[in-house]
Structure 1
């Protein structure tokens, strides 16, 4: 098992000043409201006390029963509720909060808040509180770009409101653009960063981390290709977690449908050959850490066709001649392109055996193994469960959301580097 000293350090990392912090979470109407459930779980896990206020619109997307079960507190939604006023009245609730977080913050709520309206419980609390208010906007990209919304956002910022996002990407309505609510892990980090002794320490400042993510695409012809189901979520989450602690991150990614974390040096590639070249160029000066989280295709066409292959009417079979792709991580390890080189082993059977073999055969410092045959973790899932293997130790953190697991893995990698220096 992982040595006790490192385990203790990892646990200590998660003991933050969020313990007993009182956070009032306001949820407004919008499909992104479901993400707030994960945000509540992250906050309560580190000891924060969370009370929830719903707008009428939010009730169409999340239920009071679910939120009460997760937070451990009754959910408030009515401004003039005699039972609630007999307990903690709305003014007392405004005074109770150390921080008010609105996630998601709809265009309607931002407009009412900007105009000083107090026609429901949440807007009244925001006007009555002397505590900071953090907004996580979420809306259609056209609504976010509208001059009225932009004016409201600017006015709220001038009055001292904090904000995170929105992110850019695909939206539930089918549009693509800015307006997606920031991920729960990013909002959690913003909340932690608000307090003086924040959860995310800046102890990786000055370090250069290179991370690969997503699949590679190996062309068969101009239309078809060989690839896999990797979504890139784990690699992107690792990039966010490393940057949150101050690292400079180069993210080398195959084709994915997610937005790169703000601040990353993003290099988009397609094939394994492209990815290797980008890695070598990015690590002309050896990086501090390299993480090979990409799912690189093992094979490529010996010769890709210049034109689209046509069906042959006289046969039901087609033969493709494949050759091995370069072993990116083994090549980088042999060339000593980073001080610490970490691989991933996505397996469907004999997971530990194959992972340990890769660790030794490729000369890696650490390998992170996961069972992608499971439908609840791995490719295209929001959660993952892994086993971290080094020459000296094995550590298996609990199943968790990928952005949460990434925070733990970055701390584990950091502690491994510290132990090597000592």
Structure 2
């Protein structure tokens, strides 16, 4: 990041206090930093603070007589190589999504051809609102990269997605911006800075998380295979959310056309058998294992050596299929009594969602299950949004814990699922003789 020209935009959210630390970290990483603040942002943090940290004047006005030819927005738009807005409020996202240019920050965003990144920060209900989700998708379509938001306790007292990512996490994301899928060579410590609203129960720093994602392909012959409609988006969103909480993440993926989240180790597989082998190896030192992949239930008993040809006079083709291994049930069973990961399964259903989810929770010896109705239009396979019912084991003899998550972006849903899993994992560790992760015990 040495010499990279970064324009840091700050909008009117309580998370603006984190922007001072973010500016310091960007400078420490070698970047040149200039700050633009909205009028509302100045109610949360003063321009003088940012000026002292960056060594540059802070811009707040669209019509600045001291700017070059009085055209401050054009001057800054040409100067910036990267525009980073942190925090980005719901209001600012809405204005940028619809092309408004009514203050300095929004105007220079429209006038610049720089890379554009924002870290949303707002109340959880505001983030989940369909209008905000529509704006987020519109911004991404316009070339913005959204980092977060994180999930956890909020200043207003709510709990859920909407917290701005920690400054260290944002900088690490930027360090990996040019090389998706690889961790930065010298990452900043992602342990949260002092923040009375941070939920320690949802911290993953130092943990190992393994996630399976996407479909599997079961070959029939050299050119055909059995598969399903899974895009892998949910599993990749979970990997991103876990990495943003400081976890070391292994993502075992079937064939998908998705970019690996920054800082995540990706392992590509094709078949269910290949995914099982990778999962068994990865589960050995994992604290949390999430089976999100849509694994084919069956495979061909025999794979044809050559392409299967149509035969004249035959209007039907008979295939003999055999059952594939149940990956998450195998991991849950074979690691019992060892350093067993906290096991989270997914259930894609088209009817009787809760009954089938609870059955899967018990039958496969899971700690938590996330069920979604893939029969709903606009949700599930291939879609950008999803909804879920989350069930988890409580104490012996009591009904499972239950959380309903309404339709929302898969990124927001993933943040809440990871938060819930980590809280249950910490609760389980707290009730055991030691709360150390498996790899620390070895």
Query: Following superposition of structure 1 onto structure 2, how do residues 244-255 of structure 1 map, counting pairs within 5 Å?
Result: 244-255=244-255
Distance (whole Å) between structure 2 residues aligned to residue 226 and residue 102 of structure 1: 50
| 1: CA distance, partners of 2:401 / 2:162 | 29
Is 1:50 aligned to residue 92 of structure 2?
yes
Give the Å deviation of 1:192.
3.6
Alignment of 1:153-192 (within 5 A): 181-183=144-146, 185=148, 192=165
Q: Tell me, in whole angstroms, the C-alpha distance in 1 between the residues paired with 2:315 and 2:205.
A: 58
* TM-score of the superposed pair, with normalisation by structure 2: 0.58
Cα deviations by residue, 1:296-332 (Å, 9 ceiling, x for unpaired): 0000000111111000112100000000000000000
Within 5 Å, which residues of 2 pair with 1:18-167? 43-44=89-90, 50=92, 63=98, 75-76=100-101, 109-110=113-114, 135-136=116-117
After superposition, what is the alpha-carbon deviation per residue over 1:27-57, rounded to whole angstroms, capped at 9, x for unaligned?
A: x9xxxxxxxxxx999843xxxx537766xxx
Matching residue of 1:263: 263
Show the counterpart of 2:207: 207
8 Å CA contact 1:340–1:417 kept in 2: the answer is yes
Counterpart secondary structure, 2:405: coil
Q: Judge conservation of contact 1:18–1:192 (CA < 8 Å) in 2.
A: no
1:283-304: CA deviation from partner (whole Å, max 9, x where unpaired): 233x100000000000000011
CA contact (8 A) 1:216 1:255 kept: yes
Corresponding position of 1:312: 311
Q: Structure 1 residues 18, 414: closer, same or farther in 2, change over 3 A?
A: farther
- Aligned partners of 2:328, 2:392: CA distance in 1, in Å? 16
Q: Aligned equivalents of 2:356 and 2:93: distance in 1?
A: 46
Aligned residue number for residue 403 of structure 1: 411
Q: CA deviation at 1:191?
A: 5.8
Give the deviation of 1:369 after TM superposition.
0.3
Contact conserved, 2:149 with 2:412, CA < 8 A, in 1?
Answer: no
Contact 2:389 2:405 in 1 (8 A): yes
Deviation at 1:76, TM superposition (A): 2.9
What's the counterpart of residue 279 of structure 2?
279
Report the aligned-residue RMSD.
3.8
Which blocks of at least 5 consecutive residues in structure 1 are unaligned?
Answer: 1-14, 29-38, 55-61, 65-74, 78-89, 95-99, 111-133, 138-170, 173-178
The answer for the alignment partner of 1:333 in structure 2 is: 332
- TM-score if structure 1 supplies the norm length? 0.61
1:288 touches 1:340 (CA, 8 Å); kept in 2? Answer: yes
Q: Given that residues 17 and 197 in structure 1 are in contact (C-alpha distance below 8 angstroms), is that contact kept between their aligned partners in structure 2?
A: no
CA separation in 2, counterparts of 1:355 and 1:291? 15
Q: CA deviation at 1:408?
A: 0.8
Q: Is the alpha carbon distance of 1:184 and 1:321 closer, same or farther for their aligned partners in structure 2, counting shifts above 3 Å?
A: same
Contact 1:215 1:254 in 2 (8 A): yes
Q: Distance in 1 between matches of 2:107 and 2:215?
A: 36
Once residues 282 and 417 of structure 1 are traced to their aligned partners in structure 2, the CA distance between those partners, rounded to angstroms, is 18
- How far 1:340 sits from its partner (Å)? 0.4
Q: Is the 8 A contact 1:52 1:76 kept in 2?
A: no
Query: Structure 1 residue aligned with 2:381, among 379, 382, 392?
Result: 379
Residues 218 and 227, structure 2, Cα contact 8 Å, conserved in 1: yes
In 2: Cα distance, 1:208 partner to 1:219 partner: 32
Partner of 1:68: none
Counterpart of 1:394 in structure 2 is 402
> Once the 2 structures are TM-superposed, how far is the Cα of residue 264 of structure 1 from its aligned partner?
0.8
Unmatched runs of 5 consecutive residues or more in structure 2: 1-12, 18-39, 45-59, 63-73, 75-84, 119-139, 151-160, 169-192, 394-399, 432-442
Distance in 1, matches of 2:246 and 2:269, equals 25
Q: In 1, distance between residues paired with 2:344 and 2:93?
A: 40
Q: Structure 2 vs 1, CA of residues 404 and 255 (structure 1 numbering), >3 Å: closer, same or farther?
A: same
Partner residue in 2 for 1:413? 421
Aligned partners of 2:165 and 2:244 also within 8 Å: no
Distance 1:364 1:385, change over 3 A: same
Structure 1 residues 186 and 17, CA, compared in 2 at 3 Å: closer, same or farther? closer
Please list the CA deviations of residues 135-189 of structure 1 after superposition, one character each: whole Å capped at 9, or x if unmatched: 339xxxxxxxxxxxxxxxxxxxxxxxxxxxxxxxxx99xxxxxx96424647999
Q: CA deviation at 1:219?
A: 0.3
The more displaced of 351-360 and 329-338 is 329-338
